[in-house]
A and B are shown apart, each in its own frame.
Chain A
Amino acid sequence: MRAILVSVLLLCGCAEVWNDPYPASDRGQKVLYSVFSERPKHLDPAQSYATDESQFTMQVYEPVLQYHYLKRPYQLIPHTAVAVPEPKIEQRDGETVSVYEIRIRPGIRFQPHPAFVPANLALERRQVEALETPYGLALGTRELTADDYIYQIKRLAHPRLQVPIFGLMSEYIVGLKAYAAALKAAARPGDWLDLRQHALPGVERVDAHTYRVILKGRYPQFQYWLAMHFFAPIPWEAERFFHQPGMAEKNFTLDWWPVGTGPFMLTENNPNARMTLVRNPNYHGEAYPAEGEPGDAAAGLLADAGRAMPFIDKAVYTREKEAIPLWNKFLQGYYDSSGISSDNFDQAVRISLLGEPGLSPEMEANGIRMETSVEPTVFYLGANWLDPVVGGAMGGAAAERARKLRQALAIAIDWEEYLQVFANGRGVPSHGPIAPGLFGYREGEQGINPLTHEWKEGKAMRRPLEAAKQLLAEAGYPEGRDARSGQPLVLHLDTTTRGPGDKALMDWWRKQFARLSIQFEPRQTDWNRFQEKLRKGNTQLFMVGWRADYPDPENFLFLLNGAQSRAKTQGENASNYSNPEYDALFAQVRHMANTPERQQLIDRMVEIFRRDAPWIGGFHRKTFGLYHGWLGNVKPNEMADNKLKYLKVDPERRAAMRLAWNRPVLWPVLLGLLLAAAAVVPAWLAYRRRERMAARPAPARG
């Protein structure tokens, strides 16, 4: 009877899940489960520059400013600073400088760390070799001071660090370039370089909680940089601690073990499998925002207003390199959120008759919800300004012909179709260089590119192909042939897409050009050669993208500034576009506050851009995120990376759902075993029969 009962229980399922990838001790805890696909390269706030690294660093490090979690447009608010600093324009040594005086709040303490115990700064090699983790030593802490922020600014010029923004910052921070040279001269191989012994003229310590940063000229965008990890505090003790003999051999470095004041601390660093952040017991505390956008209260996003953050105790990030296991584990409830890959799009999303994306019934039934947002990005088909056919550098009538050719292509290439076919509609066709949601971007009819679109029935419609053909004829290529030579017009797209899976994309491109009877030839190459071609200006047409560092139009408009030409100065202007009027307007706009005058100048720049069409259309990427019902306070914020502290989980609900979704199903296994056992019987009988045979036939050949 008991055996039957056990069998029935096995067949019906169990009261516990078997496929839970997490330890039993995590159950019922306020743990957030997420993923990362790329192994982070750097967690040092001076060297890191990738979004997938910021998801770790920005939970640990606290710059002086941060973005408001709920308000839009994006708004800077104090983080560890008392207030958002306003620059004071002064004259020093005959030069105009901007002085940012930053006062940080007193009483903030660093996370527990061995670097704050003096004895741990003089460890013997054998002590280091015995360590499993840096946290295996006595832990200490101390108060955050202005010196820690100053130390990090000095690190931007460190001769042993690869600081991606050094080039940019050395143009602004007074004396930074000379400081880098001085540090290089002072550095001795193997020795720790104590930056406290070397003064940087562009940074001044006022008192223990106040410091100044002095910039050459005006650079209002510097405020945004103050919200990034490049300007987070680094205690000198942490650098000294990790510089001890034996540390690097164990991969104990500041680049891998961040030390900060933020709500979380990194306690497990296995970039090959798992990264774990746990609540920092010394965290100074911060209240959940009490204000947001209209609709946030109704969405429940203000329910925790005023409550102390963070709401979770631990965040476990598991490395998932493949999309299939990631998606299945999300559906099983083992990840709290997920993106949507093209393979899973149809399972997750239904597009309404009006073209609006919504959740599929299956997702809705599981209590999953979807959030979408347009990223501060632009992906564009660039025309190389130096190219004699599609460029504009040659001037005169040739440049005019090329301009009309680019305009014709901008009409003919159907980006709406591109987004539907290759991105499941996850993008917004661009009408200018600035991404939606940022100052300078215009919505609705005002925002359309009149050259390529017209406003009909309340939406932007691509202009008819006849308009493109007319422009093509005016460019001297009627019916896609050079009117002078009669030769067909052949255009080349330099691209890194060259696998068998990219054939559909190449066919689509071919079709777009064929609409104007232009012959299309892709020049497929690898990433390195593609970048080299861009650097040398050896491309004709190419596709690249940009993600903004901060929510200011300057961070998009500079991509078209002549001084940023990739071929001439190795800058970020990949199309090498150059227009003196645009450049002059950019010089004005870049240092202005967001005023109506600035908007007016930006409108003029966008108008020039549309007329010249150095980018033959493109799109701004849209992200679709899926979130389980037990995850709360979710609101997409494309600028803030320190979002973890705002999130909350309901572990009881999660446990119940996981149990409901993951009961083991054993009857097929038992059935399989029974069938296997049944198959053995005839084999056994045949074996017995052979063994008992009195005489054997001659062995058969196999």
Chain B
Amino acid sequence: MFAYVLRRVLYAVPILVGVNLLTFLLFFVVNTPEDMARMQLGAKRVTPEAIEKWKAERGYDLPLLWNGQAEAAGKATQTIFFRKSVRLFAFDFGASEDKRDIAAEIGERMWPSLALAVPVFLVGLAVCVSFALLMAFFRATYLDLWGVVLCVAMMSISTLFYIIGGQYLLSKLLHLVPISGYRGGADAVRFLLLPVFIGVVAGIGASSRWYRTLFLEEMGRDYVRTARAKGLAERAVLFGHVLQNALIPILTGVVAVIPLLFMGSLLTESFFGIPGLGSYTIDAIQAQDFAVVRAMVFIGTVFYIVGLILTDISYTLVDPRIRLQ
């Protein structure tokens, strides 16, 4: 398994270079260094000299990808792409265009993101699996039928509606929790109750319906019939056999997203005023802050690769027949 993981880690290097290059190209197709300078310097009294100064100070006065004026290796290294990319592989993210240290920002903002995303993930998973098992247990009954109808209805509603509706109902009308905001420490619980509740509810429809399908597929297999034939209670069949065997497809979707929890939720953080990494990324895109966009895409890619490796490893844990080679 070690060799397998090592190989996957080595594969990650060209993937990261490729993603970085793609991010670079996409960003600079839309924005030029001059655009970035103007965005940072504002719309008033901006002189060409100020723009040149801004670019020179941040290394945007170099060619993008190829420096025909430089000598030998300098043709590739004396470029914005090389200068801005090479340090990423040492996880040195540098400073944002407004000169705030990106690593410090990420260190500060990852906690609110995790405080929101982890409960949504764990509670959501528990609720969805339970609900799906319940529907599978009552398959072909009115409970199952209405459960599926409810799932379809819930997955058809936009997340934005859940957020605005939840804020209106629970905070504006019932005055139970703050509408938005965030504070650290134990005080965070009051602010997280509503977004976590909404995050869980918004995810029930799609996930439960998918898990139900997985469970029903397993319940039609011979080993389930055997288990029933030997007199096991339905509860034991469901939790002891069906759930365990349905875990592989569930893990495929679930483990891969665990590292991405760190990246935050763009919409929820924005509406609930949670100062996490999701809103950090959105702010950076709006401000044309290439340093932050590049760092966040890089981190997101690393986490996605880590998530996929973890998924592979998790297969071996739930199914002893699988060997990673």
Contact = CB atoms under 8 A, between A and B. Distances in A.
Interface stretch (A368-376, A438-446, A682-690): A682-690
A49 B99 contact: no
B171 A19 contact: yes
A166 B101 contact: no
B201 to A, nearest CB: 13
Given A18-B175, A272-B280, A325-B167, A167 B228 contact: no
A50 B104 CA distance: 25
A332 B181 CA distance: 14
Contact of A18 (B144, B177, B183): B177
A666 to B, nearest CB: 8
A325 B272 contact: yes
Interface in B99-130: 99-101, 103-105, 108-109
B275 A273 contact: yes
B234 A691 contact: yes
Given A39-B283, A528-B31, A702-B139, A325 B175 contact: no
Contact of B220 (A164, A331, A532, A701): A701
Interface in A298-347: 318-322, 324-325, 328-329, 331-332, 334
A596 interface: no
B273 A321 contact: yes
B144 A702 contact: yes
- Residue among B35, B41, B175, B219 with the most chain A CB within 10 A? B175
B187 to A, nearest CB: 7
Contacts, number: 173
B74 to A, nearest CB: 20
Given A162-B50, A251-B100, A272-B279, A17 B175 contact: yes
Contacts of A42: 98
A699 B99 contact: no
A273 B139 contact: no
A16 to B, nearest CB: 11
Contacts of B262: none
Nearest to A320: B273
B271 A325 contact: yes
Given A164-B50, A687-B137, A273 B270 contact: no
A528 B35 contact: yes
Given A332-B179, A668-B174, A702-B136, A164 B49 contact: no
B234 A23 contact: no
Interface in A184-224: none
Nearest to B182: A273
B178 interface: yes
Given A249-B104, A251-B101, A270-B275, A320 B176 contact: no
A23 to B, nearest CB: 7
Main secondary structure of the interface of B (DSSP, over half): helix
Interface residues of B, number: 78
A321 B177 contact: no
A49 B44 contact: yes
Contacts of A699: 139, 219-220, 224-225
Given A42-B98, A664-B174, A691-B233, A21 B181 contact: yes
A526 interface: yes
A255 interface: yes
Nearest to B212: A702
B299 interface: no
A27 interface: no
Interface string A136-172: 0000000000000000000000001011111110000
Contact of A319 (B100, B178, B275): B275
- Residue among A248, A272, A700 with the most chain B CB within 10 A? A272
Interface string B55-77: 00100000000000000000000
A167 B283 contact: no
Contact of A41 (B98, B103, B280): B98
Interface in B129-183: 134, 136-141, 143-144, 164, 167-168, 171-183
B112 to A, nearest CB: 8
Given A41-B40, A686-B138, A256 B100 contact: yes
A39 B234 CA distance: 56
A250 B101 contact: yes
Contacts of A165: 45
B256 to A, nearest CB: 26
A19 B178 contact: yes
Nearest to B31: A528
A663 B176 CA distance: 8
Nearest to A529: B35
B270 A322 contact: yes
B42 interface: yes
Contact of B177 (A19, A319, A549): A19
Interface in B191-250: 191, 212-213, 216, 219-220, 224-225, 228, 233-235
Contacts of A607: none
Nearest to B173: A665
A686 B141 contact: yes
Contact of B179 (A168, A329, A701): A329
A320 B41 contact: no
B101 to A, nearest CB: 5
A96 interface: no
A215 B189 CA distance: 58
Given A20-B178, A272-B275, A328 B171 contact: yes
Given A251-B104, A325-B180, A325-B273, A50 B173 contact: no
Contacts of B137: 687
A168 B46 CA distance: 10
Contacts of B30: 526, 528
A189 to B, nearest CB: 11
Contact of B105 (A251, A322, A332, A687): A251
B48 interface: yes
A23 B187 contact: yes
A321 B268 CA distance: 11
A168 B181 contact: no
A572 B212 CA distance: 63
Given A255-B99, A668-B174, 13 more contacts: A18-B190, A19-B171, A19-B176, A39-B283, A166-B50, A248-B99, A248-B101, A272-B109, A328-B168, A549-B44, A663-B175, A700-B139, A702-B139
14 contacts: A19-B178, A19-B179, A21-B181, A49-B44, A164-B46, A166-B47, A248-B101, A249-B101, A249-B103, A332-B175, A531-B35, A666-B174, A691-B235, A702-B139
The 5 closest A-B pairs by CB, nearest first: A272-B275, A700-B140, A702-B216, A325-B180, A273-B275
